[in-house]
């Protein structure tokens, strides 16, 4: 990683309270452009809530999400700050794609149609060009032969690769992944991780909540271990995972398997 590069994303003191409970208790970290951040932690530690805050599906109660130097939750007009409108947040959300554990493909559309839909309907880009790009993206995720298959005709691994291609079709500047292999049978995880590994190699900025410790160790530049809504440990995964400092991380690592 280039030490001089400014961060593409900065998270400052983000807190979130849901249902009367403090879910995020002051989260801080930075992500450099082109780097891979892994987020690990036990179920319920706040990982998904944090990812949703990062693309403003959930608005933090306090703190800042700074994207390319700009606080995306707030807009200053005539010197007075106000909360960003939903329209302004949508524009940001298009720059930061998200892939979920549950694929969330449109069931009545083919793989190709799933990929083409949002660039045409949301970004208003010309369909013929988007179709060509979608075909190239299907090739990239090794699914050219499944272009006209419907989700129910595809394996979970195939569906998840379509979901990644769909996110890429929006030409995002970063991608967020929330446990994207957790719902997959072990033999299908590898094909999805291979696509993520390839994207990382191409310089895509990625933030991935993952329980795949092999992936975290080999692909992530930085890892954050969350515990009860706080960043408990962080650093180079090769060090953090090999030499856990806290009882919380030691206990977590004993429970997850490679
Ligand atoms: N909308 C909500 N209302 C109340 N509690 C929530 C809501 N969403 C998540 N939580 C709670 O926040 C905690 C963290 O959830 P989550 O961010 O999904 O954790 P993780 O992804 O690490 O498993 C959990 O205890 C969960 O029950
Ligand atoms: Mg989660």
| pLDDT bucket at 6, cuts 50 / 70 / 90 | confident
**127 membership: H or E segment, kind and range:** helix 127-140
CA of 4 to the centre of ligand 2 (A): 32
Residues 6+ apart with CB under 8 A from 239: none
Q: pLDDT tens across 37-91, in order?
A: 999 999 999 999 999 999 999 999 999 999 999 999 988 889 998 999 999 999 8
pLDDT of 258 above 80: no
Say how far apart CA 258 and CA 256 lie, in whole Å.
7
Say how far apart CA 25 and CA 100 lie, in whole Å.
24
Kindly state if the Cβ of 151 falls inside 6 Å of ligand 1. no
φ, ψ of residue 219 to 5 degrees: the values are -110, -35
**Ligand 1 atom nearest to CA at 50:** 17
Query: What percent of the chain is predicted at pLDDT more than 90?
Result: 92
**Ligand 1 atom nearest to CA at 49:** 17
Task: State which of 46, 225, 229 you would mutate to test the pocket of ligand 1, scoring each by most atoms of that ligand within 8 A of its C-beta.
Answer: 46
φ, ψ of residue 204 to 5 degrees: the values are -70, 135
Average pLDDT, the chain: 95
Say how far apart CA 21 and CA 12 lie, in whole Å.
20
Q: What is the DSSP string of 43-65?
A: TTSSHHHHHHHHTTSS--SEEEE
Q: Which ligand is nearest to the CA of 182?
A: 2
Kindly state if the Cβ of 49 falls inside 6 Å of ligand 1. yes
| Residues, Cβ < 5 Å to ion ligand 2 | 47-48
In the beta sheet, which residues pair with residue 22? Answer: 17
Q: Which ligand is nearest to the CA of 179?
A: 2
**Ligand 1 atom nearest to CA at 229:** 14
Over residues 147-161, the mean pLDDT reads 98
> Against a cut of 0.85, is the pTM above it?
yes
Q: pLDDT tens across 84-132, in order?
A: 999 999 989 999 999 999 999 999 999 999 999 999 999 999 999 999 9
């Amino acid at each position: 990683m280039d030490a001089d590069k400014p961060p593409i994303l900065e998270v400052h003191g983000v807190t979130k309270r849901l249902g009367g409970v403090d879910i995020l208790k002051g989260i801080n970290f930075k992500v450099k452009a082109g780097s891979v951040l892994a987020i690990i932690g036990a179920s319920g530690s706040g990982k998904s809530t944090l990812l949703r805050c990062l693309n403003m599906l959930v608005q933090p109660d306090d703190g800042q999400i700074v994207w390319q130097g700009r606080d995306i939750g707030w807009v200053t007009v005539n010197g007075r700050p106000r909360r960003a409108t939903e329209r302004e947040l949508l524009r940001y959300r298009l720059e930061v794609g998200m892939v979920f554990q549950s694929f969330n493909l449109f069931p009545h559309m083919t793989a190709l149609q799933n990929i083409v839909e949002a660039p045409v309907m949301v970004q208003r880009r010309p369909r013929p060009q988007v179709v060509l790009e979608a075909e190239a993206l299907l090739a990239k995720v090794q699914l050219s032969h499944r272009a006209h298959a419907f989700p129910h005709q595809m394996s979970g691994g195939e569906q998840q690769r379509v979901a990644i291609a769909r996110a890429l079709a929006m030409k995002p500047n970063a991608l967020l992944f929330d446990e994207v292999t957790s719902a997959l049978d072990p033999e299908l995880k590898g094909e999805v991780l291979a696509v993520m590994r390839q994207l990382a190699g191409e310089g895509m900025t990625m933030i991935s909540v993952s329980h795949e410790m092999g992936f975290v160790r080999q692909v992530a530049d930085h890892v954050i271990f969350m515990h009860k809504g706080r960043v408990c440990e962080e650093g180079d995964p090769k060090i953090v995972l090999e030499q856990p400092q806290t009882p919380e991380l030691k206990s977590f690592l004993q429970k997850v398997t490679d």
